[in-house]
Amino acid sequence: DQQVKQNSPSLSVQEGRISILNCDYTNSMFDYFLWYKKYPAEGPTFLISISSIKDKNEDGRFTVFLNKSAKHLSLHIVPSQPGDSAVYFCASNFGNEKLTFGTGTRLTIIP
Amino acid sequence: SQTIHQWPATLVQPVGSPLSLECTVEGTSNPNLYWYRQAAGRGLQLLFYSVGIGQISSEVPQNLSASRPQDRQFILSSKKLLLSDSGFYLCAWSGLRGWTEAFFGQGTRLTVV
């Protein structure tokens, strides 16, 4: 039973435009949602997180929005750059020590 | 600063052979430690996690086992590898409960032939 779902396996965006990556969840018990970025043959690196008490968190070009009523969060990247091409995972700890990941979305930035 | 080491980076093993992947963390004490596997189209699947020496929680029934002989050492093992054990294995650590992020090693690409 997948608690964190990323329904879009891939996304292509023109350089300079906004990239929007989506994530849905089924478990209401969480403290944090996190977004990770992963290049091939490397470990994921942390990008940005949002706690359950907020609906928006911004860090430079990256903004995460949380809609608790819809059980949905999204990551906005603006403007998109070629170096943003990677696989993006959303994850949540659901109130315990374990970090549960989605299946990832491969973002390709087109020059 | 904290660092995490995972080795080897790549490994090709025959079916039925044993496996031992090692992960060590530096610069922190009593970390939570994790083993994840990335299989094609499956995202990052949590295999094991540990909150202390000798304490191992298994998330998925499988052909693998984990051990934590020291505070900052986490080992993933198998007595007999299966073809389905192929994948990209990642070790990670996090701080105390209530942490906001986990830090990953560079991963091990395991191919069982």
Residue B100 is encoded by which pair of tokens? 């906001």
Beta bridge partners, B70, equal B73
CB contact under 8 A, B44 and A44: yes
pLDDT per position as a tens digit, A44-67: 999 999 988 899 999 999 999 999
How far lies A4's CA from each of A11, B82, B93, in Å? 18, 28, 20
Alpha-carbon distance of A67 to A73, in angstroms, equals 6
pLDDT per position as a tens digit, B48-95: 989 899 999 988 878 899 999 999 999 999 999 999 999 999 999 987
At B109, give phi and psi (nearest 5°). -90, 110
For B108, nearest residue in chain A (alpha carbons): A41
Mutant choice from A99, A101, A103, A106 vs B, greatest count of B C-beta within 10 A: A99
- Asked if residue B62 lies in contact with residue B47, where contact means CB atoms within 8 angstroms, the answer is yes
CB contact under 8 A, B44 and A97: no
- Contact list, B107 vs chain A (CB under 8 Å): 41-43
Question: What pLDDT band is residue A21 in, cutting at 50, 70 and 90?
Answer: very high
How far apart are the CA of B112 and the nearest CA of chain A, in angstroms?
A: 17
Q: Which of B46, B90, B101 sits opposite A43 (nearest CB)?
A: B90
How far apart are the CA of A87 and the nearest CA of chain B, in angstroms?
A: 10
Q: With b meaning 16 or more CB within 10 Å and e meaning fewer, what string describes A6-34?
A: beeeeeebeeeeebbbbbbbeeeebbbbb
Residue A1 has pLDDT above 60, yes or no: no
How remote is the C-alpha of B29 from its chain's centroid? 18
DSSP class of A104: -
